[in-house]
């Protein structure tokens, strides 16, 4: 394992580095990966590099690379964002960029690692996420982790000629500790 930060059964999470840039760029410009994300414009190498560099000193964003332990393969990224230390809220996000690794349960495993860190080490009270209604795969993955639907922003996302709902799901500290 190279520079592990959070270690799970099959995966570990580590900080993103400049060496990860080309891989991240490939994923973030892959229409099949981004069709369920908020991306509207292509991402340049310069933009992606400054996104990675901007997090080095950030206390409000914690992006991490998701690595399969066995092959030491970087398959995606996840993170806690907009970390709010007053209200103790943070937003969770994830992308498994290597599509051939979808359906292996890696997203729930990575989510559990970083969410546990969010509650137990960063002192968060509520961790929430946004997911589009057509992204049933992600909703299923989030349910497995224990996220509970809490609201709907109706028809707020326009995609391929029609509107979709933007769902909000969350987990509270008390629910996490008890689970
Ligand atoms: C969404 C994403 C994170 C899921 O990651 P993953 O590691 O493949 O998740 P899982 O392995 O738990 O598989 C998802 C579950 O959805 C199910 N699923 C797959 N396609 C589905 C579909 N069309 N409808 C409903 N469920 C579906 C799978 O069977 C699996 O459930 P199961 O374990 O009960 O069989 C990953 O596909 C991804 O990164 N997609 C692109 C970016 C993205 O959408 N990020 C999330 C933004 S909110």
pLDDT tens across 150-165, in order? Answer: 999 999 999 989 999 9
Residue 133 belongs to what domain range?
6-178
Number of domains making up the chain: 1
Residue 149 domain-assigned (yes or no): yes
Is 170 strand, coil or helix?
strand
pLDDT tens across 70-100, in order? Answer: 999 999 999 999 999 999 999 999 999 999 9
Residue 35 domain-assigned (yes or no): yes
Average of per-residue pLDDT across 110-134 = 97
Atom of ligand 1 nearest to the CA of 106: 7
Residue 1 domain-assigned (yes or no): no
The number of helices, as runs of H, and strands, as runs of E, in the chain is: 6, 8
Take atom 18 of ligand 1 and give the residue whose Cα is closest: 137
User: Which single residue is written with the structure tokens 């690794």?
Assistant: 101
The token pair at 119 is 């509650």
pLDDT tens across 3-15, in order? Answer: 999 999 999 999 9
CATH number at residue 98: 3.40.630.30
Q: From CA 146, how far away is CA 85, in angstroms rounded? A: 22
Would the CB of 64 count as within 6 Å of ligand 1? no
**Dist. CA 169 → ligand 1 center (Å):** 15
């Amino acid at each position: 394992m190279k520079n592990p930060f959070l270690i799970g059964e099959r995966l570990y999470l580590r900080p993103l580095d400049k060496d990860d840039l080309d891989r991240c760029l490939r994923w973030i410009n892959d229409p099949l990966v981004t069709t369920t994300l908020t991306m509207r414009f292509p991402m340049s190498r310069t933009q992606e590099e400054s996104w990675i560099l901007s997090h080095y000193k950030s206390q409000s964003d914690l992006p991490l690379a998701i690595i399969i332990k066995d092959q030491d393969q970087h398959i995606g990224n996840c993170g806690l964002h907009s970390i709010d230390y007053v209200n103790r809220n943070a937003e969770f996000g994830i992308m498994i960029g290597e599509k051939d690794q979808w359906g292996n349960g890696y997203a729930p495993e990575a989510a559990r690692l970083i969410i546990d860190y969010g509650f137990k080490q960063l002192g968060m009270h509520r961790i929430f996420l946004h997911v589009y209604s057509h992204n049933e795969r992600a909703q299923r993955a989030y349910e497995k982790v224990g996220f509970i639907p809490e609201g709907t922003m109706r028809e707020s996302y326009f995609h391929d000629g029609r509107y979709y709902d933007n769902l909000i799901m969350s987990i509270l500290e008390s629910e996490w500790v008890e689970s």
